[in-house]
Structure 1
Amino acid sequence: MKEIHVSTIIETVARLCIEACYNIGDDVRILLEKAKRQELSPYGKNILDQLLQNLCIAHELGLPICQDTGMAVVFLEIGQDVHIVGGSLCEAVNEGVRRGYKEGYLRNSVLHPITRINTGDNTPAVIHAEIVSGDGLKIVVVPKGFGSENMSQLKMLKPSDGLDGIKQFILQTVIEAGGNPCPPIIVGVGIGGTMEKAAYMAKKALLRPAGQHNPEPLVAQLEEEMLQAINNTGIGPQGLGGTVTALAVHIETYPTHIAGLPVAVNIQCHAARHAEALL
């Protein structure tokens, strides 16, 4: 059985927090460059050019892409043959977030939901853990800003609402969001399961390489159809009008109960930040 000491986890999470906030993935950058070429609005083209310049400046100067460095969402895939030693896994993750946000000079945005008193170190993180085969530990850190998170929605549709109801809900969520989530956005959608499963899938869908379709043809077709419908809304970059409102739509599905049709939409801004490591 492979042993992983919590000190390694702390160091890794701290590093990933900084990397995710300072750098954007090539997948997102490529879609932003494509969007700039395709955008018909002069204002939209100018905004997309500024967004791309901002990404370059952040990378070159070692600065956060956005002042909202988010709430840390951490996805863990824990191999069943891994033994975590030296302490608590969850405590190690939170210590990594604590150190990463301090060392990276990242904004502390986490507070008590009722008293609104800041915790002072951006902890606790939101941790999702899944047991998988093997002897590795995969860590994905997602700093999720709330300009986009606040625009996300979940709805328990009736089975009779069917595919048309799903489409209408996704599109209406984006329309109601307007320019608030700093478009062009990436739209994560979870369909099926239970209430919390749908929300989890919608968030995890955002981790897929930007623009990569679901392997199921029916779902991939729905992703393409919804992307076109969203881009036909005219919301455009930063909500100032244009032909590129979304860079991608990622949909995940899961079997659900005969009496239900849960659908969750999790919106991500153009700064689709995440970083990962395999221990």
Structure 2
Amino acid sequence: MRELSVEVLEDAIKELVMVANYNAPEDVKRAFDLALEKEESEVGKKILLEFKENHKLASEEKLGICQDTGLAVIFLFLGQDVHLVGGDIYEAINRGVEKGYTEGYLRKSTCDPLTRKNLGTNTPAIVHIKFIPGDKVKVVVMPKGGGAENMSALRMFPPSAGLEGAMDFVVETVRKAGPNPCPPTIVGVGIGGNFERVAFLAKRALLRPIGSKNTDERLAHIEEELLERINKLGIGPMGLGGRITSLAVHVELEPCHIASFPVAVNIECNAHRHKSIEL
């Protein structure tokens, strides 16, 4: 059994929060280059170039890619042979988040949902823990902005809706979102599970690198068809028209109850901030 201090976890999250907000991920940069080759709208091309310049300046100046620096979504892949010592895991995560947002001069966005009073800490973080074999700990920080999250949706379909109904729902969700999630977007889709699980599947689907192919051939085909349909909507970069409304569609699927057919759509903005480390 390997011991790891929660202080190490806290420090790692503090750094990841800042790095994720300052630096566009490599898969996003590659996706923008490909999008520029495909985009036919002159306005759309100009917007994509402005985004690329924004990525460059944010990284150089250590500034947030977007002023909405998001709620901190943390995925913790915890090796079953690791014993975290020295305190409460959740408290350590939240201390790391607060330090990262404070020391990194990043906007804090958590508030009381009723009074709307800002809590001033950007905590509590949204934490997902999965136990994995081995003695390593992988931490993924995904700051998730409000504009894109607000456009996400979940539907508990009857089984009779079938795949066609699910796909129509995904495309309609993106259509209704329009310019609000700052396209070009990345679309995470969850199918199956139950009410709370399907939302998690849609969120987790966003972790897969843009440009990677789904290992399930059925889902790979669905992703391709959904992306084609979405990019025919004509919404385009920042909703000003064009071919590239979304950079990718990622689908995750799990078994569900025989009487249910849950489908969730989690829309991600063009910044698609995420950063990971293995401890």
TM-score range, shorter chain: over 0.9
Offset at 1:211?
2.4
TM-score, structure 2 length as denominator? Answer: 0.99
The secondary structure found in structure 1 opposite 2:64 is coil
Give the corresponding residue for 1:87: 87
- For residues 197-234 of structure 1, the C-alpha deviation after alignment (integer angstroms, 9 at most, x for no partner) is 11001001111101212100010000000000000000
Distance 2:139 2:94 in 1: 13
The secondary structure found in structure 2 opposite 1:255 is strand
The secondary structure found in structure 2 opposite 1:99 is helix
Distance 1:161 1:168 in 2: 10
Offset at 1:237?
0.3
Give the corresponding residue for 2:131: 131
Percent identity reads 52
Give the corresponding residue for 1:210: 210
Distance 2:212 2:256 in 1: 24
The secondary structure found in structure 2 opposite 1:130 is strand
Distance 1:156 1:214 in 2: 24
The secondary structure found in structure 1 opposite 2:223 is helix
Distance 2:81 2:142 in 1: 25
1:37 aligned onto 2:37: yes
**Structure 2 stretches of 5 or more lacking a match?**
none
Which runs of structure 1 show a deviation greater than 3 angstroms over 4 or more consecutive aligned residues?
none
Give the corresponding residue for 1:22: 22
- For residues 143-178 of structure 1, the C-alpha deviation after alignment (integer angstroms, 9 at most, x for no partner) is 000110000000001100001101110000000000
Distance 1:116 1:82 in 2: 39
Distance 1:148 1:211 in 2: 21
Give the corresponding residue for 1:219: 219
The secondary structure found in structure 1 opposite 2:4 is strand
Given that residues 211 and 250 in structure 1 are in contact (C-alpha distance below 8 angstroms), is that contact kept between their aligned partners in structure 2? no
1:272 aligned onto 2:272: yes
Distance 1:263 1:236 in 2: 25
Offset at 1:54?
0.4
Give the corresponding residue for 2:179: 179
Distance 2:229 2:249 in 1: 11
Alignment of 1:101-140 (within 5 A): 101-140=101-140
Offset at 1:11?
0.4
**Structure 1 stretches of 5 or more lacking a match?**
none
Given that residues 213 and 223 in structure 1 are in contact (C-alpha distance below 8 angstroms), is that contact kept between their aligned partners in structure 2? no
Distance 1:62 1:97 in 2: 17
Amino acid in the other structure paired with 1:107? R
Give the corresponding residue for 2:147: 147
The secondary structure found in structure 2 opposite 1:50 is helix
The secondary structure found in structure 1 opposite 2:262 is strand
Give the corresponding residue for 1:258: 258
The secondary structure found in structure 1 opposite 2:256 is coil
Distance 1:250 1:90 in 2: 29
Give the corresponding residue for 1:10: 10
Given that residues 76 and 128 in structure 1 are in contact (C-alpha distance below 8 angstroms), is that contact kept between their aligned partners in structure 2? yes
CA RMSD of aligned residues (A): 0.6
Given that residues 198 and 263 in structure 1 are in contact (C-alpha distance below 8 angstroms), is that contact kept between their aligned partners in structure 2? yes
The secondary structure found in structure 1 opposite 2:259 is coil
- For residues 32-85 of structure 1, the C-alpha deviation after alignment (integer angstroms, 9 at most, x for no partner) is 111112100111011001001100111111111000000000011111111010
Offset at 1:117?
1.3
TM-score, structure 1 length as denominator? Answer: 0.99
Give the corresponding residue for 2:199: 199
Amino acid in the other structure paired with 2:236? G
